[in-house]
Amino acid sequence: MSDMKLTLKVWRQAGPSAPGAFKSYPASANEHMSFLEMLDVVNEDLQEQGEEPIAFDHDCREGICGSCSLVINGSPHGPKGGVTTCQLHMRSFKNGDEIVIEPWRAKSFPVLRDLVVDRSPLDRIIAAGGFISVPTGAPPDGNAIPVAKEDSDRAMDAAACIGCGACVAACPNASAMLFTSAKVVHLSLMPQGQPERNRRVLAMVNAMDEEGFGGCTNYGECQAACPKEISVENIALMNREFLRATLHDRDGAPRVAGTM
Amino acid sequence: MHLDAKLPAGPLDAKWARHRAALRLVSPANKRKYHVIVVGSGLAGASAAASLAELGYQVSCFCFQDSPRRAHSIAAQGGINAAKNYQNDGDSAERLFTDTIKGGDFRSREANVYRLSEVSVNIIDQCVAQGVPFAREYGGMLANRSFGGAQVSRTFYARGQTGQQLLIGAYQALERQIGLGAVKMYERHEMLDLVVVDGKARGIVVRDLITGEMSSHAGDAVVLGTGGYGNVFYLSTNAKGSNVTAAFRAYKRGAGFANPCFTQIHPTCIPVSGDYQSKLTLMSESLRNDGRVWVPLKQGDTRAPGDIPEAERDYYLERKYPSYGNLAPRDISSRAAKEACDDGRGVGPGGRGVYLDFAAAIARLGEDTIRERYGNLFDMYAQITGENPYKVPMRIYPAVHYTMGGLWVDYNLMSNLPGLHVIGEANFSDHGANRLGASALMQGLADGYFVLPYTIGDYLASNKLAPVDTSHDAFRVAEAEAKAATDRFLAINGTRTVDSFHRELGQLMWEKCGMARDRAGLEEALRRIPELRAEFWSNLKVLGTSDSLNQSLEKAGRVADYMEFAELMCRDALEREESCGGHFRTEYQTADGEALRDDAHFAHVAVWGYEGPDAPPTRHREELEFEFIKLATRSYK
Amino acid sequence: MNRFRALWQSVIGKKIAMAGSGLILVGFLISHMASNVLVFVDPAKLDAYAEWLHGFGGLLWVARGGLLFFLLVHILAAYQLTQIARAARPTGYHAVDYRVSTYAARTMRWGGVLIAVFLVYHILHFTTGTLHPDFHPGEVGRNVIEGMQVTWTAAFYAITMVSIGAHFWHGIWSVFQTLGLNHPAWNSTRVTVATALTLLVAGGFLSIPVAALLGLLP
């Protein structure tokens, strides 16, 4: 177990409207620690010295809840790829490294404190149409409608999205297309999702735009940053869905799906 | 304390149908006049909030996470049980019922468990309709796999992310209602108190975790779906934020807490690697199908595993349980690992680990077959430990995983406090002393989708609820108390951080009230917890203010509750002088080290009532009656 | 019309407009390149081609108007999308680490501006002759050869053609993505098509100034 000495350059910001700045802190770690555990130790030290700990979002610490959200040396969730920050271990760094830690940056994700941002726009995109309108009750038997394994597997690939927002953070345009498309594609691939297919994509894209995210210019950074490796193929499929729905749908213009 | 379980009479398979038919209804036009508060947005909370809003109730839903989709149900891996009998292998509601009662070591209610088994099939239908991408066969039908404690394949799954997919299904239903304005969602809000007016639960006090603002919310009924309390051990497979606060504060307002000592320890987790460890990660139990568990024969053997010859290894599960071998049940495997480590034969840093060795399986089946079966788990292990499990045996150790205990509820999922409903892991209802794999998701969704929406209507229709709003004194008092408690943390200005207290409490609980318990240890814990608590209240250091996002302050509140709750758990463990399921008292075991139940004295639910800060809690009983299934001893020899 | 307005109002709609107008401009560039390389065969053929085009009279102006319209749509959509993207990230990162995005993708906007500037110059240079040192209306082949004799002009053309190539390559690939033409089995073909078209068009254009710089023009 080798110990390493690091210098952290961390964005500190007392509140949503307070100005922020980078602050440097020494840190020590060993290769077995997760990145967040390294920060835990820094926070313990800070508190002992009377300085308020660095605030960051985290919860499950096993890569599934989508809470953790740090941009590490310019990469959302760090340099490793295919993992969340909480799954990033310090063996990905070496003694003497300077590590720059920043919050997700987007107008739609205002900083609440230090490294914590508000990602509620993603929930509102789902609320606009990211569902199948089926109230609790007595739907048909689970096996009543066969679902091709390929479709269900592809839907699962898209549904693996954890809603962390790394795609937005990574995109030079701060676009939420990968997030939105993952849900559109998940539901449009399932036979159960067909009845609402048009209004879903219209409403979700409309909500996405209204939240102030940028457009997609096919950089591909979102896919590279996605801890669940969700493919930009979904974006292409959403574009197609959107075009199709705009031309087909009898109501034409996007609205909130549930209220039409 | 009045404990009327309201169990319906009649034949087992008719109880729920008859009970449901007799429940009083709220007419559609009147539903919108009722306001229901749902705390928690996991499988239970989200499914309940969505379903109630669909029915027409006004719903407010609260979660401490930044989105309802992040509740810890999301982390469940394996699957969800349902008695569909799609595999034509003889499954039925009766069989799921029997498995669950036995698995729970005969410490759960027959009527509840049967209802759970019955509605399990509706859950799958509902989730499929929501678009949950369950695993499918090539013909388009739903796939199943088998799981521990059952002889049929009844587990439905979505890769290793079943909890995630089911939660997203419920979350989407919830978001739909939010979009329609039927549910008002409060993210990043933590419940700090339950407000009781005229003996009925009428609201809650919450703290906005961003602004620190306290606010009160009044309603006609309160539903807690706030999860389990595994984090009392500090290290567990629970999310960092999982806490007992909502349930414990409801307990302090008069709700009974049932069987707090029933905790489940999962045998295959990645061991602790250092004192900075913040949480434990579960590795699927399925690994034990091909891995062999062993420790060195010699104490303190520090040789690399490959350098230890066969003759100097102890394959202790194969030795002790020749017929089940490495597939011995969860509780037994966990205890055996602990014994080996207690004996000084544990491996890895700190000596708290045992090997799970795939060398024999790789030699027999080839690395490719093993990769095909467990590739993703091996990758996850390699990511966390930096070791290659194809070459070096995995190190595993048991970890706290689930808590069967919780707030006491009757058949209608209502606590002894009228109006307070408790669903999911937060209640004690269906798993007895041990939960079967893939049953937690089933119970959470059963409660939220198919039980509570019926029973809560009965409560609302049967009670004349006087209009109450937050200007009522009870709200003002509760809010002021919550504010004072929060400010108190900031005023202590001691020298130790919240985490250091939590870690010490967790260590103590793990040692004295963990996998194996005994009188001496529990009594020691009951001496030491109040000391630690006293130090907590005099030497805690929380910086910052209460009017901003302050994560240490949030933790302080949760740890303060654990400091009291831990004592309740130890008390319950001490009073339950038998071994059953997840509760193993070393004094009560058979000659071969198996759990020795005492049905004559302990076939009951222990329900604890709060008696104020200066008096010990009182222990009440709900006797368990077994009409349809015969009490028997579990045996895995 | 309502649904077209709705389309234009969304970021995806603007991208679709960019893709559609881009495709038309690509079509124009292919024919423009194909005619330009006639200069290698025989400058007089280029003159004849120009004369043939002029023979269309009013229709030529309709085509020019159409091209201008799609160009403006392309530019307007690009401008608006850029504004939306800038507004979407008011505060940038201190550390920047691009992982997979190509230089071509990241220079689309400045590349576009360069192309627009070039276009103005190009029209003043070869269409109106305003900036041509020795312009002879109707003698297209000669104008090209003479125009390219000025070293800095040829160098500017050459650099711009490389830039157009990058713009073209990312643009064509993006058209597939934006119009939803996506299938794992065909995705590598999309890149191949983009690369082949880029090499053909940009390479064809580039050959003229490069040949001029090397003294290879007739």
How far apart CA A56 and CA B126 sit, in angstroms, is 36
Q: For residue range B37-85, what is the model confidence (pLDDT) as tens digits? A: 999 999 999 999 999 999 999 999 999 999 999 999 999 988 999 999 9
What is the residue extent of each domain of chain B?
266-400, 481-612
Q: Comparing B440 with A1, which gets the higher pLDDT?
A: B440
Q: What CATH architecture is B481-612? A: Up-down Bundle (1.20)
Pairs across A and B, CB distance < 8 A: 225
Q: How confident is the model at residue A255 (pLDDT cuts 50, 70, 90)?
A: low
Q: Does A110 touch chain B (CB under 8 A)?
A: no
Confirm if A255 and A127 have CB atoms less than 8 A apart: no
Percent of chain B with pLDDT over 90: 87
Determine the 3-state secondary structure of B438 from DSSP: coil
Which of C97, C177, C181 lies closest to A75 in CB terms?
A: C97
Please report the pLDDT score of residue B637 as a whole number.
64
Indicate which of B272, B551, B553, B558 best probes the interface with A, i.e. most A CBs within 10 Å of its own CB.
B551
What CA dihedral angle connects A183, A185, A188 and A190, to 10 degrees?
A: -90
Tell me the shortest Cα–Cα distance from A256 to chain B, in angstroms. 8
Closest CA to B257 of B507, B103, B428: B428
Q: Does A238 touch chain C (CB under 8 A)?
A: yes
Pairs across A and C, CB distance < 8 A: 155
Tokens of C213: 């710089």
Please report the pLDDT score of residue A252 as a whole number.
58
Q: For residue range B138-156, what is the model confidence (pLDDT) as tens digits? A: 999 999 988 777 788 999 9
- Those residues with Cβ within 8 angstroms of residue B2's Cβ, 6 or more apart along the chain or in another chain: B416
**b/e string for B142-173 if b means 16 or more Cβ within 10 A?**
bbbebbbbbebbbbbbbbbbbbbbbbbbbbbb
Determine the 3-state secondary structure of B77 from DSSP: coil
Q: Does B548 touch chain A (CB under 8 A)?
A: yes
Closest CA to B43 of B425, B431, B406, B410: B425
Which of A81, A206, A237 lies closest to C182 in CB terms?
A: A237
**Inter-chain touch B179–A15, beta carbons under 8 Å:** no
Q: Which chains touch C (3 or more CB pairs under 8 A)?
A: A
- Torsion-angle region of B85 (φ positive above 0: left; ψ -120 to 50: alpha; else: beta): left
| Complete DSSP assignment for C107-152 | THHHHHHHHHHHHHHHIIIIIS-TT-TT--TT-HHHHHHHHTTSHH
3-state helix/strand/coil string of B500-514: HHHHHHHHHHHHHHC
Catalytic annotation present for B207: no
| Complete DSSP assignment for B118-171 | HHHHHHHHHHHHTT----B-TTSPBP-B--TT-SS--EE-STT-HHHHHHHHHH
Q: What's the CATH fold of domain B266-400?
A: Flavocytochrome C3; Chain A, domain 1 (3.90.700)
Q: How far, in Å, are B361, B607, C38, C62, C114 from residue C127 at the CA level?
A: 77, 93, 17, 16, 19
Place of tokens 């119970």: B443
Per DSSP bridges, beta strands B58-62 and B35-39 are parallel
Indicate which of B134, B155, B175 best probes the interface with A, i.e. most A CBs within 10 Å of its own CB.
B175
ipTM value of the model? 0.97
Give the strand order in the sheet containing B257-258.
B406-407, B257-258, B604-609, B618-623
How far apart CA A127 and CA B178 sit, in angstroms, is 6
Q: Which residues of A touch B237 (CB under 8 A)?
A: 62
Which of A47, A64, A136 lies closest to B51 in CB terms?
A: A136
How far apart CA A260 and CA A242 sit, in angstroms, is 17
Mean pLDDT of B603-624: 97
Which of A173, A220, A246 lies closest to C100 in CB terms?
A: A220
Distance, first Cα to last Cα, chain C: 52
pLDDT of B633 above 90: no
**Inter-chain touch A173–C88, beta carbons under 8 Å:** yes
Q: Does A229 touch chain B (CB under 8 A)?
A: no
Tokens of A124: 């509102």
How far apart CA B316 and CA B338 sit, in angstroms, is 12
Please count the other Cβ atoms lying within 10 Å of the Cβ belonging to residue B353.
Answer: 23
Query: How many residues would you count in chain A?
Result: 260
Put simply, the chain C residues between 26 and 85 with a CB less than 8 A from any chain A CB are 81, 84-85
Percent of chain B with pLDDT over 70: 99
Angle B75-B79-B83 (CA atoms, 0-180°, nearest 5)?
145
Phi and psi at B569, nearest 5°, equal: -65, -45
Mean pLDDT of A69-79: 97
Do B and C make contact, counting contact as 3+ CB pairs within 8 angstroms? Answer: no
Which of A31, A112, A140 lies closest to B210 in CB terms?
A: A112
Please report the pLDDT score of residue B375 as a whole number.
84
Closest CA to B355 of B401, B296, B281, B285: B296
What pTM did the predictor assign? 0.96
pLDDT of B635 above 80: no
Please count the other Cβ atoms lying within 10 Å of the Cβ belonging to residue A11.
Answer: 22
Q: Which chains touch A (3 or more CB pairs under 8 A)?
A: B, C
Burial class (CB in 10 A: 0-12, 13-18, 19+), C8: middle
Please report the pLDDT score of residue B273 as a whole number.
87
Query: How many residues would you count in chain B?
Result: 637
Tokens of A163: 């809603």
What is the residue extent of each domain of chain C?
2-213
Q: Does B85 touch chain A (CB under 8 A)?
A: no
Please count the other Cβ atoms lying within 10 Å of the Cβ belonging to residue C52.
Answer: 10
- Those residues with Cβ within 8 angstroms of residue B131's Cβ, 6 or more apart along the chain or in another chain: A132, A155, A186, A187, A190, A192, A193, B169, B172
- Those residues with Cβ within 8 angstroms of residue A207's Cβ, 6 or more apart along the chain or in another chain: A124, A125, A127, A128, A129, A256
**Inter-chain touch A136–B548, beta carbons under 8 Å:** no
How far apart CA B351 and CA B371 sit, in angstroms, is 28
Phi and psi at B197, nearest 5°, equal: -125, 125
pLDDT of B611 above 80: yes
pLDDT of A94 above 70: yes
Q: Which amino acid type is present at position B55?
A: L
Give the strand order in the sheet containing B292-296.
B263-269, B394-403, B354-357, B292-296, B313-314
Q: Which residues of B touch A110 (CB under 8 A)?
A: none
Q: For residue range B14-24, what is the model confidence (pLDDT) as tens digits? A: 999 999 999 99
Q: Does A32 touch chain B (CB under 8 A)?
A: yes
Q: Which domains does chain A have, with CATH numbers?
A: 3-112 (3.10.20.30), 119-246 (1.10.1060.10)
pLDDT of A257 above 50: no
Mean pLDDT of B109-119: 98
**Inter-chain touch C177–A218, beta carbons under 8 Å:** yes
* CATH 2.60.40 holds for C2-213: no
Place of tokens 């230089």: C103
Q: Which residues of B touch A1 (CB under 8 A)?
A: 349
pLDDT of C202 above 70: yes
Tell me the shortest Cα–Cα distance from A82 to chain B, in angstroms. 11
Q: Which sign does the torsion angle of CA C61, C66, C69, C70 carry?
A: negative
Q: How far, in Å, are B316, B415, B608, C163, C191 from residue C144 at the CA level?
A: 89, 90, 96, 20, 33
- Those residues with Cβ within 8 angstroms of residue C208's Cβ, 6 or more apart along the chain or in another chain: C36, C37, C39, C144, C148, C157, C217
**b/e string for B443-455 if b means 16 or more Cβ within 10 A?**
bbbbbbbbbbbbb
Please report the pLDDT score of residue A2 as a whole number.
60
Q: Which residues pair with A27 in a beta bridge?
A: A6
Q: How far, in Å, are B38, B50, B68 from residue B448 at the CA level?
A: 10, 9, 15
Q: Which residues of B touch A44 (CB under 8 A)?
A: 497, 499-500
Which of A74, A173, A237 lies closest to C93 in CB terms?
A: A74
Mean pLDDT of B260-282: 93
Q: Does A92 touch chain C (CB under 8 A)?
A: no
Tell me the shortest Cα–Cα distance from A179 to chain C, in angstroms. 14
**Inter-chain touch A71–C2, beta carbons under 8 Å:** no
Query: How many residues would you count in chain C?
Result: 218
Q: Does A211 touch chain C (CB under 8 A)?
A: no
pLDDT of A26 above 80: yes
Place of tokens 């125009």: C147
Distance, first Cα to last Cα, chain B: 42
